[in-house]
Structure formats: C-alpha cells, structure tokens
Amino acid sequence: MACGGRGSMEWSSLPADLLLAVFALLPSDADRVRFRAVCSGWAAAAAAWRPRPWLVGSRTDRSGRGAGGVSCFWLSPRPGGGLVPFAAAVPAGLEFLSSSHGYLALADPRASPKAIVLVNPVTGRCVPLPPIGFFKRWLDVTTVVLSGNPDTAAGWAAVAVGFPTTCLAYYSSVTGAWTPLAFSVPGYAGVEYYKGRFYVAFGSQICVCEQYAPAVIPLENVDADVEGDGSDDDKVLGRGRRVLETHLVECDGELLLVSVRDDVEYSSEDDMGLGLAVDIGGSGRGDGDARVVEVHRVEWVGDGAVRLVRVVDLGWHALFLGRNHAFALSPAEFPACRVNCVYLVDRQGHPDGLVRVVDMESQWARREETMYPDDGRRGSPSAGWARRGWFFPNY
C-alpha cells in the first residue's frame, strides 16, 4: 500500500488518532511491523502506541529437556486483569532463558554446550551466538544482558550468567566469541549495563566487569541515608533475612540494587546456611514463602567507591524482575502499571510459578497481589519446572 501517488487516496493524510486506533486493533505483531513500514506518517502515529510487558517462560523436566514450547502472557492493561495468554512468534524447539533490549534469549535444550539464539519476536530477526563451551553441562543460564539493541548498535556486547554456581561469560559482537569471567557466588546475581560498563552484584557486593574478571567496587557504607519519613517502614527490612536473588536495574537514570529476601528471620549467618529460621509472617510454617524486596540506590562517592542509599519510594515507576534483564516502567510507558511496585516473578523452577506485585509503600503490611500464569498445565505434577521472565517488546 503506498502513501499518496497519482489517482490514489492520500493514506498519509489520515488523522493520527484514526491510524492509532487501527494499529491497536491489529491481531499480530507482524501486522504492526508492516503497518509501521508503510510510510513515515504511519510510523509516527504508531509510535504513540504503548506496548505491553510480556511474561515469557518455558518448562523443563528433571533431565533438563524441554517439556513444551514457550508460553507468553500479556500483562493486562485493565486493573486486576492479570496475565492474558497469547501465541507469540517464537521458533519451535527452543526454551526460554532470558530477555534484554527487545530480544528473547533462547536455546535448544538438547544441545551441549549451551548455544544462545537471540530472537526478536516482533520482527522475526534471529541472531545466533556461538556455544559457551566453558560452561559446565549442568549449569543453567539464568540471565543474558545486552549492552544495546543489536538492530541499532554498531558494536554490542552481552553478559550471560550461569547458575547454580554462578559464573559469567562475556560476548563481543566485534570478536564474535565468549570469554569467561571469574566470578562465583552461591545465588542469583544481577547484571546491568550502565553508562558504558557492565556491573554485577549479589547481596551488597557490587563489581564492575573488567577484561578477565569482575573487579569488586569498594563499598563505603550501607544505609548511610534513608529516603523516607523516618517511620518504622524506613527500617532496614533485610536484617536477619536470607538473600535469595539480587537484581541491578537502571531506573530514571539511576542504578538501583534490588535484593529479594525470604520473609523469615535468622539468628545468625550459620542459621541462614542451615535454613534455621524464625517465621515472623504468622504462617507458622517457617518456609519463607513470602518475600521482602529491598531497594538501594548506588551512589559513587569518589576514588571508585560506592555507597548504598536505602530507597522506599520508586516514585512513578515500577520494577520488573525475573529471569530477564531487569527494567523499570512508568505510566507514560505502560499506563496500567502500578507505580511504586515491584513485579517479581517468584518460585522459579516450580511448576506453578507466580508473579508477586509487591507494594513498596506497604511491605510491612504484606500488601501484595499474586498472579498465576496459566498455560493450561497448572497443578499438573508432570508439567515440568517453569522458568519465566519479563520481556518488553521493541517495535
């Protein structure tokens, strides 16, 4: 379809609100890509459309083999709408690993060593990466973080995180090869590309990725200041609780360190390692099923050192955490998101994983919403272990 031309209708002169209404009704992302390609006027009208975050995941059985395809859910724009399943254009036979900059990181579960394929489910572009030969066969790739969009960046890089004994792999599009980075922590580490450098963190330890190994950044102090009103809610939530996973996320130009802890108290570090806990949530089970989310802003204080400043208010932003490059959204980017909340994908590896929407203002009151992604196999003991993460499409 051409815009203008002799004897044809001036399609480019259609009102922008009409074009946007048509664009929103298109049934597939492929149609939306074609719509934007018609002419600059149509592309400009479509730019006003706000995409929805996706929850993406796949299942594996106990042998690590894929037990099904990739499942996708839209986060409903309606309050209380939950997660809406839909069929995305994802290649068959691949499992979900992570997402970053509008690309899904997928892999063939039968291949060894692990080889990652970056897939843009909107445009259909695939970027195959070489196998990570130095990752042990039993290592799982939990997160892949890109430095930029491979569609627009002349040269880009990636960091892949292995689990459970965390190790890192660095990829450069210039060399086309993976390089091992010496790093080992007993948990889920967070990675972010911030102001031209990769950072990795677990607990309160922050490292910058150098050529061969992450260099630990000196930590001057923790909680030197607290952004809040001095109430009980401003106390350090994480004291005596075990860190389950750590995320780094850029939010409104700042770097945030997010720690997810179980909601039980341990009397000592030895008890944390043994799982000896005192349940403070009132459930009496001591299983740490509830979660506490703790956020700090990373501040550089000179001589390469940083300090962590407690944050209790995310303002007009929400954080999206899971097996993905963590990201922040505001209502301007996704009008239906709940501000000052954390959308946390929890129970990774559990057949019935869930999404907790944790209100940062009311964690002491346990105010949270729980959403179960239903792919038709919820509650089935043979459904396999689910791995899920958030994805924000790039149109």
Q: What six digits make up the tokens of 348?
A: 């990774």
Nearest to 209 by CA among 155, 258, 169: 169
> What strands, in cross-sheet order, belong to the sheet with 167-172?
140-146, 157-163, 167-172, 177-181
Q: What are phi and psi of 363, to 5 degrees?
A: -65, -35
Q: Is the pLDDT of residue 235 over 70?
A: no
**pLDDT surpasses 90 at 232:** no
More confident residue, 169 or 266: 169
The backbone region for 92, taken as left when phi is positive above 0, alpha when psi lies in -120 to 50, beta otherwise, is beta
Indicate whether 384 pLDDT > 90: no
pLDDT computed for residue 177 by the predictor: 93
Q: Name which residue leads in pLDDT, 347 or 5.
A: 347
* Percent of the chain topping pLDDT 70: 76
For residues 60-79, b (16+ Cβ closer than 10 Å) or e, as one string? beeeeebbbbbbbbbbeeee
Element (H, E) at 159: strand 157-163
Are the beta carbons of 243 and 259 closer than 8 angstroms?
yes
- Kindly state the average pLDDT of the residues 170-175: 93
Instruction: Look at residue 174 and tell me whether its pLDDT is greater than 50.
Output: yes
6 has a pLDDT exceeding 70: no
Residue 176 has pLDDT above 60, yes or no: yes
pLDDT at residue 224, as a whole number: 46
The residue among 265 and 306 whose pLDDT is bigger is: 306
Least confident range of 1-5, 198-202, 274-278, 340-344? 274-278
The larger pLDDT score, comparing residue 37 to residue 352, is at 37
In this structure, of 54-58, 183-187, 243-247, the range with the lowest mean pLDDT score is 183-187
Q: How confident is the model at residue 49 (pLDDT cuts 50, 70, 90)?
A: confident
Find the DSSP H helices in the chain: 16-25, 29-37, 40-46, 269-274
pLDDT in tens, 123-135: 889 999 999 888 8
Average of per-residue pLDDT across 137-150: 85
The per-residue pLDDT for range 75-123, each reduced to its tens digit, is 877 767 788 888 888 888 888 999 999 999 998 888 878 889 999 998 8
Taking the C-alpha atoms of residue 80 and residue 316, their distance in angstroms, rounded to an integer, is 19
Task: Work out the average pLDDT over 288-306.
Answer: 84
Q: Of the ranges 60-64, 90-94, 188-192, 251-255, which one carries the lowest mean pLDDT score?
A: 60-64
- What is the rounded average pLDDT for all residues in the chain? 78
CA-CA distance, 329 to 393, in Å (whole number)? 13
Say if residue 20's pLDDT is above 90: no
Write down the pLDDT at residue 183.
77
